[in-house]
Structure 1
Amino acid sequence: MTVTTSVEKNGDAAGPEKLLAPVLSAHWDEPRSWTLESYRRHDGYKGLRKALAMDPDDVIAYVKEAGLRGRGGAGFPTGMKWQFIPQGDGKPHYLVVNADESEPGTCKDIPLLFANPHSLIEGIAIACHAIRSAHAFIYLRGETVPVLRRLHEAVREAREAGLVGPDALGPGKPLEITVHAGAGAYICGEETALLDSLEGRRGQPRLRPPFPAVAGLYACPTVVNNVESIASVPAIMHRGKEWFRSMGSEKSPGFTLYSLSGHVVNPGQYEAPLGITLRQLLDMSGGIRPGHRLKFWTPGGSSTPMFTDEHLDVPLDYEGVGAAGSMLGTKALQCFDETTCVVRAVTRWTEFYAHESCGKCTPCREGTYWLVQLLRDIEDGKGVMTDLDKLNDIADNINGKSFCALGDGAASPIFSSLKYFREEYEEHITGRGCPFDPAKSTLWADDPKTAHLEVKA
């Protein structure tokens, strides 16, 4: 696995890299950055020391005042989610960290865990102190075996140092961390499906209410947070809420990881304050591959409505992206140049959603199947004009009517691609096939050895 540091050495001290704010990724490029020794060398576990000296309710209030919002997609305030946990109920409380990173284009949590797992462990300890929990679970995507090994090693190191185990959170206050490897299902990224999987059942979303904060894992009060959300807490506790709020915008403060991929010169993780624009990130990453221009891109993975080159200056925070008609999501910025066929890209995404549908609800189970059939016909030149209205109608019957939000994600590429590129769909139908040359729609088109490879969106 290759880990790319967030700091790009592309200019002088006044260059565009000054826009970056490396915190989680500041030391990814150091030798053995994943070890406890390396983490402590960079102020590791100082935030925990400060948190343990505070009352749990004060820690929750501090995180709320800092304005940290969930980094897993929806952007729900982290401190508010912690506050929902009932106190004095006599039940065990659990923290579950969602590391089942499965969204197409999203690749921030896995590099973070690979290069800096102790930031997550420290964040877990702080969160467990705040919600009065003695047991945390990390639900990791099981295919990432190197990350699984590093997580187990980091937990072992923390246990040897007394940061996990009996009295880890103070006299008589134990902390246990269980690392659980999932079986690789997209649906398990949905928090209630994750809880069912963690309990040993098939991963499918639960009917709500009750919500996890009241009856989550083992029917006990549970907080489910994304990896990056929890890993951001130690820096907030150590450096202060004012420092955190000095970055980003008023409603979307702080730093975050942007995953830049696709037809760009230097793809990778770029850690910057919320509100940076894609134009700025492209300036730092070398831009779109030479000789080409940006055609469309996703602000938060394939489940968010796509943008075009007209949206290069949209602030990449929750409010800015929402006002422009999409969602920030996981901040997975997939960039596609003019050689990419929109119909082909949307077809590949929709095939993924159809394959990964858990099948629990009819709109998603049946709708994604029929979307794939229509899209394949259009791509192959077998479609008719009325198919475009059918696509829109089926997507509308999925959106907002499926059991969980993953159905909405399947509909988003349909709506947005028809909005911005309807004429391209029509060209497939009238021209009886795709007008794009698959050999040119690749990241390596200039290499004769790989020019035949087709980009899989």
Structure 2
Amino acid sequence: MDLQELQTLAEREQEILDAPCIRCCTVGGCLSANALAVKEQIEVEIATQDLNPPMHVRGVGCMGLCSRGPLVRLDPAGILYDQVTPEDAPELVHACHKTLQPHLPKALSNSSPLQPSSYQPRHHPFFTLQHPIVLENSGHIDPKEIKDYMAQKGYLALTQALYDMTPSDVIDQITQSGLRGRGGGGYPTGLKWSTVAKMPPGQKYVICNGDEGDPGAFMDRSVLESDPHRVLEGMAIAAYAVGANQGYIYIRGEYPLAINHLETALRQARKQGLLGSQIFESPFDFRIDIRIGAGAFVCGEETALMASIEGKRGLPHPRPPYPAESGLWGCPTLINNVETFANIAPIIRNGAEWFVGIGTDKSKGTKVFSLAGKIQNTGLIEVPMGTSLRQIVEQMGGGVLDGSAKAVQTGGPSGGCIPAHAFDTPVDYESLTRLGSIMGSGGMIVMDQATNMVDVARFFMEFCMEESCGKCVPCRAGTVQLYQLLTKICDGKARKEDLESLNQLCEMVKDTSLCGLGKSAPNPILSTLRFFKDEYLTLMHNEGSGDYHPP
């Protein structure tokens, strides 16, 4: 396929994609709520009626508001129906058909027993504060149809890079955009790419880290389920920029739907000549293969991930050398996570200045978050960097289910618990670090006033203890001792000296562990000691317990 053929196909498919239709979310939370049965029953209902104008049903990716699924949206009107059941199909089809008629716009909002959801994309805060870049196609296209992706300018950024830009031009655009790695560390993406590109010519690799293991996090899974070609295109652009010809997507086996959609996307891209040899009739060759992980949390760390791809036990290794210099099988390797690659095509299409205009001075662009926990509106959101925690938790999330929020955990087991009085903090890399937490991959777990924060710290420490690979003593033994100390406190058997030991042990594990799992494991403890010390003191043995003041 050449550029002209791609543009012609995109224009033709755009007309089909923009035609009036009923879109049903068929991934993630909606799928678990019987969404496939809803879609099938709607199709049956349409087939039994002679409708004019004709009506089409399209299975699409995540629409965001997972707590209200199954979600069905009538387009182009944008009317959203939530918690739809198969029994609603006759009334829904009737309602949608009436709405499609020009002389009866939205008439059945007042006449149908099946009412449109109050969560309207154009009006409800859950949607109105969002700025979709990574998620711009989610809930709109069928993830199993490459033509849907092409209709949304899919693969045009890759052709632009191949025909109009040199590899260094691509790296300059990514560098100027200020895009930082969305996997947790926030390392400048352009700097990482340029390091790999500067390595001597020879075998190089590009790896997409899809090993999302944080409790309560489902951002990468949703992107891969809803818009897999977006990630493939980002990887291909990265490979062209750094001089790689082989890529791998490392994804945990617990994501079967994402794996299925990726395998389908890879077959389609190869068939269309968008991956493989001489892409778009250029000299550029790039192949992508999938590697499925067994669910070890430590394999989210890049050196452990590469060991797993090589067929070895997933153990981290000291750095330097860094993967950019000596990575997979000793070759220069570029590793970014799913969301980072999903940002690449829009930046190439729209330019670095466009991306720079979104977010804050040091944290550019948007960030995808999964909202979970004791909150009204659980689901997937994408907001500009700098959006406050209060806007996310109270406005978009609708607040907690009962009462008021107590804290929000960001960054998963590697992050910290941020108290409600700090909710006006903007969400960016530096601000969260100052509060003792991290951005992480984007998980947010909201807690209410009934939550025991010491028990929360113990839960995350138990997770880190069980997921430790055991290679280094500080993490292998230190997480066990931290968990035992927290259990002693929760059981009301601890004394003043135990809190002092807890803090000292946290600092030791943080400073001496080999990889990021151990270095960040104490964060939930340190943040709860900082902001919720009264809860620790309340659980302490009375003798001398009130004299301890955490730093």
**Could you tell me which residue of structure 2 aligns to residue 206 of structure 1?**
317
Are 2:162 and 1:52 aligned?
yes
- Answer 1 or 2: which has greater helix percent: 2
Name the structure 1 match of 2:63: 5
Aligned residue pairs total 432
8 Å Cα contact 2:234/2:342 also seen in 1? yes
| 1:26 and 2:136 correspond | yes
1:154 matched residue in structure 2: 265
Structure 1: which 4+ aligned runs deviate by more than 6 Å? none
What letter matches 1:396 in structure 2?
E
Q: Distance in 2 between matches of 1:289 and 1:18?
A: 19
Deviation larger for 304-313 or 3-12:
3-12
Residue 42, structure 1, aligned to residue 100, structure 2: no
> Distance between the aligned counterparts of 2:500 and 2:387, measured in 1?
36
Shift in alpha-carbon separation, 1:431–1:12, aligned structure 2, 3 A: farther
| 1:438-457 mapped onto 2 (5 Å cutoff) | none
Say which of 247, 255, 258 aligns to 1:144.
255
Measure the CA separation in 2 of the matches of 1:149 and 1:112.
13
Q: Does the residue aligned with 2:319 lie in a helix, a strand or coil?
A: coil
Q: Per the alignment, do residues 12 and 310 of structure 1 end up closer, same or farther by CA in structure 2, a change over 3 Å counting?
A: same
Provide Cα deviations, 1:209-235, integer angstroms capped at 9, x if missing partner: 211111100100101111100111001
- CA deviation map 1:291-341 (0-9, x unaligned): 311111123223112210011111101122233443222222111001111
**Alignment equivalent of 2:483, drawn from 369, 372, 375:** 372
Residues 230 and 141 (structure 1), Cα distance of their counterparts in 2 relative to 1, 3 Å cut: same
Counterpart selection for 1:238 from 349, 359, 375 = 349
Relative to structure 1, is the Cα distance of residues 14 and 31 closer, same or farther in structure 2, using a 3 angstrom cutoff? closer
2:63 counterpart letter in structure 1: T
Name the % identity: 38
User: Could you tell me which residue of structure 1 aligns to residue 548 of structure 2?
Assistant: none
Equivalent AA in structure 2 for residue 192 of structure 1: T
Aligned mate of 1:335, from 436, 446, 450? 446
Q: Deviations over 1:102-146 (max 9, x none)?
A: 122322101100111010011011101101111000000122112
Q: 210-219 or 380-389, which moves further after superposition?
A: 380-389
The correspondence for 1:326, drawn from 417, 426, 437, is: 437
Q: Distance in 2 between matches of 1:286 and 1:116?
A: 24
- 1:406 is paired with a residue whose SS is helix
CA contact (8 A) 1:98 1:226 kept: yes
CA distance in 2 between counterparts of 1:169 and 1:426 reads 65
Distance 2:160 2:515 in 1: 38
> How far apart, CA to CA, are the structure 2 residues paired with 1:122 and 1:113?
12
Q: Distance in 1 between matches of 2:258 and 2:215?
A: 19
Deviation at 1:15, TM superposition (A): 5.8
SS of equivalent to 1:349: helix
The answer as to 2:374 corresponding to 1:263 is: yes
CA–CA separation in structure 2 for the residues paired with 1:69 and 1:6: 24
Q: Please report the TM-score for the alignment, with normalisation by the length of structure 2.
A: 0.75
Residues 34, 68 of structure 1: CA spacing in aligned structure 2 closer, same or farther, 3 A cutoff?
farther
Q: CA deviation at 1:164?
A: 0.8
> 3-state SS of the aligned residue for 1:350?
helix
Given the superposition, is the C-alpha separation of residues 88 and 78 from structure 1 closer, same or farther in structure 2, using an over 3 Å criterion? Answer: closer
Which aligned pairs between 1:7-156 and structure 2 lie closer than 5 A? 10=119, 13=122, 16=125, 17-30=127-140, 32-53=142-163, 54-87=165-198, 89-156=200-267
Of 387, 400, 404, the match for 2:498 = 387
Match of residue 399 from structure 2: 288
Higher relative contact order (CA 8 A, sep 6+): 1
Deviation at 1:169? 6.1
Deviation at 1:11, TM superposition (A): 6.2
Structure 1: runs of 5 or more not aligned: 433-457
Q: Structure 2: 5+ residue runs without aligned partners? A: 1-27, 31-61, 66-79, 81-117, 544-551
What CA distance in whole angstroms lies between the structure 1 residues aligned with 2:291 and 2:428?
31
Give the whole-Å Cα distance in 1 for the aligned partners of 2:337 and 2:238: 12
C-alpha distance in 2 between matches for 1:383 and 1:243: 55
